[in-house]
Amino acid sequence: MGASTTSEGKRNPGNRRLAAVQEMAGFQRILFEVEREFIRTATTLIYRVGDVELKYLLCQHVWESAGHARFLRERGREMSGFGKGDAVRDSFRGIFEEAILGEDPLDSLSCFYRVLKPAILLAYRQYLELTHHLADWPSRRLVEEFILDEERHAAEIEPYLGDREVSSLEVRIEAALAALGGWLGKDEIAALPDGFEWNHHTEKFQPPTICNRGDFPICSSVFSHDPEETPIVRQWLEDPETDARVIRLMVYVWLMMELDAVDYLPTVFYDTPDAPFDLHFDLARHLWDESRHSAFGFRQLPKLGVDLTTLEHSLDLYNILVQMTPPERYAMMTMEFEANSFPVKALVMDRVRELNDFEADTLLAFDRNDEQNHVRYGHQWLPEIMKLFGEERPVEEFVEATKKRFEELAEEFGGRVPHSLPAETRLTGKKILEIAGVA
C-alpha cells in the first residue's frame, strides 16, 4: 500500500473500513441515476410513436424501470456512500438529452433500446462481477431480477425495431457512452470523435403540437350529444332507458380513449427534471395505469364486434394541454378530468352489472380504484410541481384559474381535427346501437 493511501487511512480510518461498501454503493448510485434519467426521457417517445401497442409497452417499461430505480435507492440508502438527494449528474443527463433528438422517433427508440438499454444491462452484469456474492447478497438479488427485466425488455421491443439500419444518432450516442467508459466506467474509454458537438446544448427538445396515432383515423373528440357524430353520446350514459349493452360499448370506447392521457401525461416527466424521484415514481405508476385502462377498451371492443379501424382517436385533450404549463396539465388531469369522472362512471358501473359480465365488472372496478389513487397523487404532487415553476397561488385558486385557462385554450386549439372517416364509415352512437343489437 502506498504512503499516501496509508496516510489517508490514518486520517479517516472510518472511510477505509467501509471502502468496499462505499464502492458498491457508488455503483448503485450510478445505476439509480441512469434508470431515473431513462424514466424522464424515454417518456418522450410515447407521444411520438404511432403504434398503440408500442405506446403501451413503453409505459410498462417505464414503470418497471421506476421500480428498479426505487429499489436501488432503498438498498443504496442502507449502504455508506450512496449519497443524498435524487439529482442526476450532468454527464449522464447529457447523453439521454442527446438521444431524444432524433427527427424520426424510431431513431430515438433505437438509441434507447440498441445502445442505452443494452449498456444498462451490461452495467448490471458488471455489478454482479464486481460485488461479493454473500456480503452484498441483498443487492445481488435485486440486480439479478433487473437483469431478467432488461433481457425481456429487449425481446419485447425487437419486433418494433426489426432490421432497422443503424442511424447516425445511434453512432453518436455510442460514442458519447464510450467516452464515459460505459455507465459504470469499467469499459475502455474512447475519446469523442473529432468535431463531435452536443446538439442538446443548442437544440431544446419540444413535444410535437399533435401526438402520433399511426394509421388510426383521428378526430377532435369521441364525445358529443349527436348519435350520428360520435360513438359516445353523453346523454345516453346517464339515461336509465339506455340499454346496458350500449353503455358497455360506450364505456369501452371511453376507456380506450384514455390513450389521450397516455400521450399527454408523459410530457410532465421531461419538463420536471428537478422533481423529487418519488414524484416521477408515482407519475410512472399513473402512466402505466392509464395505458392498462386504454388497453381494456382496445382488447375488449373487437370481442364485442367493433372494428377498431372505424374508431377515430380523439386528439383535442393533447392538442390543448400541450399549450399549458406542466402544473396546469397535471391539475387538469387529476383535479378536473379524473376527480369529476366518478359520478358518471358510478352510474355506468351499476348499469354494466346488469349484464352479469364478470370481466367488464372487473375492468371497471380496477379502473375506478386506480383513478382514486390518481386523484390522491394530484393532491400530493400538484403543490410540488407548482413550486418547481414558481407558482405561489393557493392550490384551489390555481386549479380554478387553470380550468378557465383550459376553456380559453379549447376555443383556440380544440375542434381543429376534422373527422378522418365519413359518417357512414366511422363508429358512431347509431352504429353502436346496431352492434349491440338494439337498433
pTM: 0.94
The answer on pLDDT for 370 being more than 70 is yes
d(CA 279, CA 385): 9
94-153 pLDDT, tens digit per residue, is 999 999 999 999 999 999 999 999 999 999 999 999 999 999 999 999 999 999 999 999
Task: Give the position of cell 405506446.
Answer: 55
The torsion angles phi and psi of 223, rounded to 5 degrees, stand at -105, 140
Spatial contact of 167 and 110, defined as CB atoms under 8 Å apart: yes
197-255 pLDDT, tens digit per residue, is 999 999 999 999 999 999 999 999 999 999 999 999 999 999 999 999 999 999 999 99
19-41 pLDDT, tens digit per residue, is 899 999 999 999 999 999 999 99
331-341 pLDDT, tens digit per residue, is 999 999 999 99
User: Which three cell numbers mark 189?
Assistant: 474509454
What's the confidence (pLDDT) of residue 5?
Answer: 41
Select from 109, 118, 117 the least CA-distant residue to 47: 109
What's the confidence (pLDDT) of residue 60?
Answer: 98
What's the confidence (pLDDT) of residue 7?
Answer: 46
What's the confidence (pLDDT) of residue 163?
Answer: 87
User: For the chain, first and last CA: distance in Å?
Assistant: 88
User: Which three cell numbers mark 120?
Assistant: 444498462
Beta bridge partners of 223: 232
In 3-state terms, what secondary structure has residue 314? strand
- The DSSP annotation for 245-273 comes to HHHHHHHHHHHHTTHHHHHHTHHHHHT-T
381-392 pLDDT, tens digit per residue, is 999 999 999 999
Spatial contact of 60 and 288, defined as CB atoms under 8 Å apart: yes
d(CA 353, CA 285): 28
69-85 pLDDT, tens digit per residue, is 999 999 999 999 999 99
The class (CATH top level) of 13-196 is mainly alpha
d(CA 275, CA 176): 26
Select from 237, 434, 231 the least CA-distant residue to 351: 237
What's the confidence (pLDDT) of residue 46?
Answer: 98
246-302 pLDDT, tens digit per residue, is 999 999 999 999 999 999 999 999 999 999 999 999 999 999 999 999 999 999 999
Q: How many CB atoms lie within 10 A of CB 331?
A: 27
Spatial contact of 179 and 192, defined as CB atoms under 8 Å apart: yes
130-146 pLDDT, tens digit per residue, is 999 999 999 999 999 99
- How many Cα atoms are found within 13 Å in the side-chain-facing hemisphere of 287? 34
Whole-number mean pLDDT of the chain? Answer: 94
d(CA 248, CA 96): 43
Select from 253, 287, 177, 214 the least CA-distant residue to 48: 214
**C-alpha radius of gyration, the chain, whole number:** 24
Select from 250, 281, 260 the least CA-distant residue to 364: 250
d(CA 305, CA 439): 15
Q: Can you say how many angstroms the Cα of residue 306 is from the centroid of all Cα atoms in its chain?
A: 28
d(CA 64, CA 277): 14
* pLDDT mean over 345-367: 96
In our burial notation (b when 16+ CB lie closer than 10 A, e otherwise), range 412-432 reads ebbeebeeebeeeebbbbebb
Question: Which amino acid would we find at residue 438?
Answer: V
Strand intervals (E) in 144-228? 218-219, 223-224
d(CA 241, CA 94): 58
Spatial contact of 287 and 262, defined as CB atoms under 8 Å apart: yes
Helix and strand numbers, DSSP H then E, in the chain: 20, 4
User: Which three cell numbers mark 340?
Assistant: 369529476
What's the confidence (pLDDT) of residue 18?
Answer: 78
The torsion angles phi and psi of 438, rounded to 5 degrees, stand at -125, 10
* pLDDT mean over 398-406: 98
Give percent of the chain with pLDDT exceeding 70. Answer: 96
Select from 114, 117, 97, 110 the least CA-distant residue to 40: 97
DSSP element (H, E) containing 107: helix 105-111
DSSP element (H, E) containing 124: helix 117-130
Instruction: Please report how the helices 244-256 and 358-388 are oriented relative to each other, as an axis angle in degrees rounded to 10.
Output: 40
* pLDDT mean over 390-403: 97
Spatial contact of 427 and 306, defined as CB atoms under 8 Å apart: yes
Select from 250, 219, 221, 257 the least CA-distant residue to 235: 250
